[in-house]
Copies of this chain bind each other. A is one copy, B any other.
């Protein structure tokens, strides 16, 4: 007998949990579709050389090899660890066949050989959108990404959300004004990014280790405490008294962004000058979604603007702005905290019971008529006592059962309300469901 054991970090949902996952995916998809983002997929596999040295520790990348035999020609392939590197490669590879702006959505699994721990997965779904252009990328695109992510969380309706935004140019411009060179600016970004995890003292210590001391360190930490809203952004940011070109450009971009995001998004946006989004090569806007009711959850999605997304794969360096929602983590949260109730264990709306095998062909005919009007219908696979068949429907959360009375009348019973209605023919059942 073969072994069965849960492989840690590789989640697997029960049917009723998978229905919640599908509901979350479909909700996000409907928002992405409504803005015309076109679906693309790439293979799970990329050339290993394109995956290494891309901001993820190489040890976390899964490479392939053949299970049997010594042929190691697949050793050059690895499973992708995000959807951004494959996207850049896709655009470069199919460049002449694409139309720009290229607006994509991608829902795919990614793999990371992370140390397994609660809320960390080694295989998980991400759902990304990006807008990529061949020319200058207007701030309107950054605004659309934020608006869409806001709409997605609004429509998901699982918990109130906030969107933290920042602009790398504000951070870099500020650090520049302190006289830090580019290398130190980057180090400061990395240190500040850890604020939530290691606190002010931790960040100060890290800055200290980089040789950023005294007034500079204090000012960096002060900046990181700054929180502004659309209403007080322009005053708050000019109060910082920084006037170099980079910082001014950051102000300009952020002000334009705040004007162009939807009013709904604006109502949950906070300009958070501690937001750094780690090592990624963002060059302007950065964003992160939080669920304030679930602070331990951390980022519920994030993204930003890359000025040079494709530079690793082609001479032309194309700018893009995008965001990603970590579906698997989100589903895990929703299931753990019961934010969406588990209901059905299958998509079936109605079970046609079969009281004897002679009825089966008639039952199939009734079921097909209901399926024609998009009522998911199952015919019970054998013909035990009615009670057993109703128990089956209850156990799966199927809301309606139908049975044929001796006199040919069709009974439709709502298992929740116990309400039972007699129908002379399928036609009135169809009317009943159409009216619902």
**Candidate in A11, A42, A59, A62 with the most chain B CB atoms within 10 angstroms:** A62
27 contacts between A and B (CB under 8 A): A1-B312, A1-B313, A7-B43, A13-B40, A15-B39, A15-B104, A18-B41, A33-B347, A34-B371, A34-B374, A34-B377, A36-B347, A37-B346, A38-B346, A44-B109, A44-B123, A45-B123, A58-B67, A59-B68, A59-B69, A61-B66, A61-B67, A61-B68, A62-B66, A99-B345, A147-B364, A260-B364
Contact A92 B62 (CB under 8 A): no
Given A18-B41, A89-B4, A371-B35: A63 touches B61 (CB 8 Å cut-off): no
The answer to whether A360 and B97 touch (CB under 8 A), given A34-B376, A67-B78, A68-B58, is no
Q: Quick check: A4 and B93 within 8 Å, CB to CB?
A: yes
Interface string of A39-62 (1 = CB under 8 A from B): 111111111111110000111111
Residue ID in chain B nearest A79 by CB atoms: B64
Cβ of A201 under 8 Å from chain B: no
Q: Is A67 within 8 A of B59, CB to CB?
A: yes
A contacts with B, residue count (CB < 8 A) = 105
Residue in contact with A113 in the complex, picked from B40, B43, B66, B381, CB distance below 8 Å: B66
Whether B377 pairs with A36 at a CB distance below 8 angstroms is yes
Q: How far is the CA of A67 from the CA of B147 in the complex (A)?
A: 38
Q: Give Cα distance in the complex from A202 to B331, angstroms.
A: 54
Q: Using CB atoms and an 8 Å cutoff, list the residues of chain A in contact with chain B.
A: 1-7, 10-15, 18-19, 22, 33-52, 57-69, 71, 74, 77-79, 89-90, 92-94, 97-99, 101, 103-104, 109, 111, 113, 123, 131, 133, 137-138, 140-141, 144, 147, 259-260, 262, 312-315, 345-348, 360-361, 364, 368, 371, 374-379, 381-382, 392, 395-396, 398
Cα–Cα distance between A304 and B190 once the two chains are bound (Å): 57
Given contacts A12-B90, A61-B66, contact A381 B99 (CB under 8 A): no
Given contacts A33-B347, A35-B376, contact A68 B43 (CB under 8 A): no
The smallest C-beta distance from A379 to any residue of chain B, in angstroms, reads 8
Question: Given contacts A38-B15, A40-B15, is CB(A7)–CB(B77) below 8 Å?
Answer: yes
Contacts of A123 in B (CB 8 A): 43-45
In the complex, the count of this chain's copies comes to 2
CB distance from A76 to the nearest CB of B (A): 9
Whether the Cβ atoms of B40 and A67 lie closer than 8 Å is: no
**A393: nearest chain-B partner, CB-CB:** B99
CB-based closest 6 A-B pairs: A58-B68, A36-B348, A10-B43, A61-B67, A38-B346, A36-B378
